DNA sequence: TTGAAAGCGCTAACAC
DNA sequence: GTGTTAGCGCTTTCAA
């Protein structure tokens, strides 16, 4: 592997000049430039990023945590982040946490070891204090998780409001016994949803019946299982708020299997407005979020932080909207 | 940020000894070790990975190319690769190609710049020669794409056989006018499927009618669009082989909308056996692959290559199986 | 416009 | 068991 020293020797200039040519610096004579370019061509030289990283104290790499790459909401979210970052010269390293605190710890360590210029957290089981303590003074942004923070920038969706208005919609439509599906892990996000659910009942003077817990993945399979549980006996619910469209699709499929008529006897609302909503029968109603806008703002803030700009902690919240379809 | 030199000074030993302690080398006295550990604690020292990378000539990072992170097949595939690699001490950097050759070129450049120890390609629009030429002598493995290769290791699914047997199944069931949905880009994978489709017709002395092209994403939306096109006029098909379950789900949904009865008038078979198959009505039949096994073998081969072991180019092919459900 | 020299943080061969 | 030393490949001041 040729280094800039080899190029320097072959072209009869110094390492510095070679470096200048590579980095398109001005004030290099046309003559030197040509000689260097020729040498580069001849030895098929490619710059070694490892040297650059050490010298410049940056790897142009951003880490992103994601619970699981096999996830219909987080996966596209990270994809969006990755393309936006790429457009401004940064690569993305994806770290799956598998909903485990230990995995999270390891990721934060990578950050402090300077492999990453910054970290974006899309899902966490920790509090701000715990995160802050582990990531030290590195650049860290929170995306999608409505964490209460004082030192970290947060971009999140208004989960409380989204659930609040969807719940009100169901209640006003005459549904009375609503079920809300939550994860086992009580994250701030889950809590907000639950608050919205309760408040909507309160404001309409309705009795808020039951919450149902399912495990943390919100998959189709879990929807099918949960559905078997709910619909096999006497089903007391006439409305369900599912934590994700995939969970909702599983529930819907199970309801049909058990002879529960949707939307006549039961209404189901999903979350995220994934296109799977269009393939179920009837088509799934769902809550749609401004994910794209959120990511755009996030990346713009990230760049400012990386530039070392000083400004108060950012907290942005984006409103969701209920998309009414057949369920 | 404290460096090992700071630790060395504070604890009264040399840089080497500090390094030995950090890396758990034997032959360090208990006394030195304690002193170093104390200093590390006191200055809250963390090793700087950039220095390690330059020195060790490795970043412990593997790149993976994926067409789009928002993809129900590739996303879980990469997730699987990531966890397996993580278990053996490697991180994964995900690069989205968005089905663009230019993006691919850029990724290969990253590899030659030594930011990556190796690259796994899950989807490509290039031939082996073009890839080989760009990646030079770096470690590169192909996963999922049945490329004809002489120098690169390939792990792929037997697309030809999977389509062949599914087509035969449909024909033997009495379907006569089959449609196969292919991508616009004619990749080796697409070609193999097409061959299987033709051969199945040939072997049963049936006439192979038409192929239909759709663009390269295989999404629900495209299924809906394609469905509108096919089913709005006179539909001549009584069987469809879709390139993915999501495309199939879209087609199914559209068929229902246009009053085409499935499976009575029309049969639909998807690809990948995604759980979405369980949420459509009727449940989607689909072709299931041995993805897990493929990834396991791939990573094991990858490790051998990274160890510098010399052996002939590996080519492994995994059989698929038709899962028959309601369509 | 160019080159010399310093140094980013770390590891490892070698000598003791 | 430990320290000295060289060097991985690059960028960037500084002086010429």
Among B69, B78, B220, whose Cβ lies nearest the Cβ of A276?
A: B220
B170 and B267 co-located in one domain: yes
pLDDT of residue A233: 82
Q: What pLDDT band is residue B8 in, cutting at 50, 70 and 90?
A: very high
Distance from C-alpha of B33 to C-alpha of B55, rounded to nearest angstrom: 23
> DSSP 3-state assignment of A277?
helix
| Helix runs in B67-136, H state only | 74-87, 101-112, 128-135
* CB atoms B98 and A82 under 8 Å: no
SS3 label, residue B232: helix
Confidence of residue B309 (pLDDT cuts 50, 70, 90): confident
Q: Do B279 and A220 touch (CB under 8 A)?
A: yes
Neighbour tally for A166: CB within 10 Å = 28
Distance of residue A202 Cα from the nearest chain B Cα, in angstroms: 34
Cβ pair B212, B180 in contact under 8 A = yes
Asked if residue B262 has pLDDT above 90, the reply is no
Domain count, chain A: 3
A and B: number of Cβ contacts within 8 A: 147
CA dihedral A191, A197, A200, A205 (to 10 degrees): -110
A153 and A172 housed in the same domain:
no
Protein CA B17 to sugar C1' C14 (Å): 15
Q: What are phi and psi of A273, to 5 degrees?
A: 55, 45
Q: Which residues of B147-179 are buried (b: 16+ CB within 10 A; e: fewer)?
A: bebeebbbbbbbbbbbbbbbbbbbbeeebeebb
User: Does A167 map to a domain?
Assistant: yes
Question: What is the reported pTM?
Answer: 0.90
Q: Per CA to C1' distance, which residue is closest to C9?
A: B51
The string of pLDDT tens digits covering residues B34-49 is 999 999 999 999 999 9
Residue A323 included in any domain: no
Alpha helices in chain A (DSSP H): 4-11, 15-22, 30-42, 49-56, 74-87, 101-112, 128-135, 159-172, 188-203, 220-232, 245-257, 291-306
Q: Tell me the average pLDDT across B264-281.
A: 93
Does residue B168 sit in helix, strand or coil?
Answer: helix
The residue behind tokens 């590195």 is: A138
Q: Which residue is closest, via its CA, to the C1' of D13? A: A16
Extract the tokens encoding A48. 């070694």
Q: How far is the CA of B108 from the C1' of D6 (A)?
A: 33
Give dist(CA B95, CA B89) in Å, integer.
Answer: 20
Regarding whether B152 and B295 lie in a shared domain, the answer is: yes
Q: For the domain that residue B94 is a member of, what is the CATH number?
A: 3.40.50.2300
* Min distance A240 CA to chain B CA atoms (Å): 17
Residues B79 and B226 in one domain: no
Q: Tell me the nt nearest to A2, Cα to C1'.
A: D9
**Residue B125 domain boundaries:** 61-157+291-318
B204 sits within 7 Å of strand C by its CB:
no
* 8 A C-beta contact, residue B302 and residue B266: no
Examine the domain organization and report whether B221 and B272 are in the same domain. Answer: yes
Q: How confident is the model at residue B94 (pLDDT cuts 50, 70, 90)?
A: confident
- Does the C-beta of B12 come within 7 A of strand D? yes
Residue B327 lies in a domain: no
Q: Which residue is nearest to nucleotide D12 (CA to C1')?
A: A16
The beta-carbon neighbor of B75 closest among A75, A224, A275 is A75
Is residue B165 located within the same domain as residue B82? Answer: no
> What's the pLDDT at A156?
95
HSE-CB at A174 with a 13 A cutoff on CA atoms is 4
Run of H or E residues at A270: strand A267-271
Q: Which region, left, alpha or beta, applies to residue B311 given φ > 0 means left and ψ of -120 to 50 means alpha?
A: beta
Q: Is a pLDDT exceeding 70 seen at residue B211?
A: no
Same structural domain, A271 and A304 = no
Q: With bands split at pLDDT 50, 70 and 90, how would you rate the model's confidence at B146?
A: very high
Distance B16 CA to C15 C1' (A): 14
Q: Are residues A36 and A112 in the same domain?
A: no
In a shared domain, residues A41 and A75:
no
| A31 lies in the same domain as A97 | no
CA–CA dist A327, B31 (Å, integer): 70
pLDDT higher than 90, residue B209: no
Distance in angstroms (rounded) separating the CA atoms of residues A280 and A249: 7
Separation between Cα atoms, residue A107 and residue A96, nearest integer Å: 9
Position B324 in a domain: no
Residue of A nearest to B112 (CA): A46
By CA distance, what is B47's nearest residue in A? A113
Q: For position A93, what pLDDT does the model report? A: 86
The protein residue nearest nucleotide C10, judged by CA to C1', is B51
Q: Which of A260, A250, A269, A251 is nearest to A326 (CA)?
A: A269
Main-chain phi, psi angles of A185, to 5 degrees: -70, 120
Query: What residue of A is the nearest CA neighbor of B222?
Result: A275
Chain A residues in contact with B253 (beta carbon < 8 A): 278-279, 281, 283
Q: A240, A268 in Cβ contact below 8 A?
A: yes
3-state helix, strand, coil in chain B (%, to 5): 45, 15, 40
| Secondary structure element (H or E) that encloses residue B166, with its range | helix B159-172
A242 assigned to some structural domain: yes
Position A8 in a domain: yes
Find, among B258, B257, B279, the residue nearest to B327 by Cα. B279
Beta strands in chain B (DSSP E): 61-66, 91-96, 118-121, 139-143, 153-157, 178-182, 210-213, 239-241, 267-271, 285-288, 315-318, 321-323
**A200 falls within a domain:** yes
- CA-to-C1' span, B63 to D13 (A): 35
Q: Tens-of-pLDDT digits for all 327 residues of chain A?
A: 899 999 999 999 999 999 999 999 989 999 999 999 999 999 999 999 999 999 999 999 999 999 999 888 999 999 999 999 999 989 888 898 988 999 899 899 889 999 999 999 999 999 999 999 999 889 999 999 999 889 999 999 999 999 999 999 999 988 988 989 887 777 888 889 999 999 999 898 888 766 666 666 688 998 998 899 889 888 788 899 998 999 999 999 999 999 998 888 999 999 999 999 999 989 999 999 999 999 999 999 999 999 888 899 999 999 999 999 988
Give how far B276 is from chain A: nearest CA, Å.
7
Assess contact for B284 and B275: CB atoms under 8 A: no
Q: Is B302 helix (H, G, I), strand (E, B) or coil?
A: helix
Nearest in space to A84 (alpha carbons), one of B148, B147, B96, B64: B96
**C-alpha count within 13 angstroms, C-beta hemisphere, residue A178:** 29
Contact B47 A79 (CB under 8 A): no
- Residue B80 distance to chain A (closest CA, Å): 8
Three-state SS annotation for A77-120: HHHHHHHHHHHCCCEEEEEECCCCHHHHHHHHHHHHCCCCCEEE
Residue A118 pLDDT? 95
Residue B42 lies in a domain: yes
Residue A39 sits in a domain whose CATH number is 1.10.260.40
Q: Which nucleotide is nearest to B5 (CA to C1')?
A: C9
- Chain D, protein-covered positions (CB within 7 A): 1-13
> Do B103 and B194 have their domain in common?
no
pLDDT tens, position by position, B153-176:
999 999 999 999 999 999 998 898
Length of chain B: 327
In this structure, the answer to whether residues A168 and A224 fall within a common structural domain is yes
CB contact under 8 A, B70 and A79: yes
Query: Looking at residue A215, what is its pLDDT?
Result: 65
């Amino acid at each position: 592997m040729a280094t800039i020293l080899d190029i320097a020797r072959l072209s009869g200039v110094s390492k510095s000049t070679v470096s200048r040519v590579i980095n398109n610096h001005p004030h290099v004579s046309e003559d030197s430039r040509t000689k260097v370019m020729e040498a580069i061509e001849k030895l098929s030289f490619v710059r070694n990023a490892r040297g650059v990283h050490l010298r410049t104290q940056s790897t142009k790499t951003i880490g992103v945590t994601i619970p699981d790459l096999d996830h219909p909401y987080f996966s596209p979210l990270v994809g969006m982040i990755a393309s936006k970052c790429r457009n401004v010269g940064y690569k993305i390293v994806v770290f799956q946490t598998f909903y485990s605190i230990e995995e999270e710890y390891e990721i934060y360590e990578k950050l402090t070891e300077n492999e990453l210029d910054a970290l974006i957290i899309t899902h966490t089981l920790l509090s701000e204090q715990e995160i802050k303590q582990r990531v030290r003074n590195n650049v860290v942004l929170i995306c999608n998780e409505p964490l209460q923070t004082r030192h970290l920038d947060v971009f999140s969706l208004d989960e409380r409001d989204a659930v609040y208005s969807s719940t009100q919609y169901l209640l006003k439509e005459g549904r009375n016994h609503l079920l809300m599906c939550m994860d086992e892990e009580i994250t701030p996000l889950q809590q907000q949803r639950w608050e919205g659910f309760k408040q909507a009942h309160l404001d309409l003077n309705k009795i808020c019946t039951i919450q149902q817990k399912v495990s943390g993945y919100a998959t189709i399979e879990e929807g099918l299982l949960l559905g078997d549980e709910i619909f096999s006996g006497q089903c007391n619910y006439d409305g369900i708020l599912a934590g994700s469209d995939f969970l909702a699709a599983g529930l819907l499929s199970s309801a049909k299997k058990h002879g529960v008529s949707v939307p006549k006897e039961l209404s189901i609302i999903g979350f995220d407005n994934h296109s799977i909503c269009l393939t179920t029968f009837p088509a799934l109603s769902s809550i749609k979020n401004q994910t794209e806008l959120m990511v755009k703002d996030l990346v713009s803030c990230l760049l400012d932080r990386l530039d070392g700009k000083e400004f108060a902690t950012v907290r942005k919240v984006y409103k969701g909207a209920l998309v009414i379809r057949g369920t």
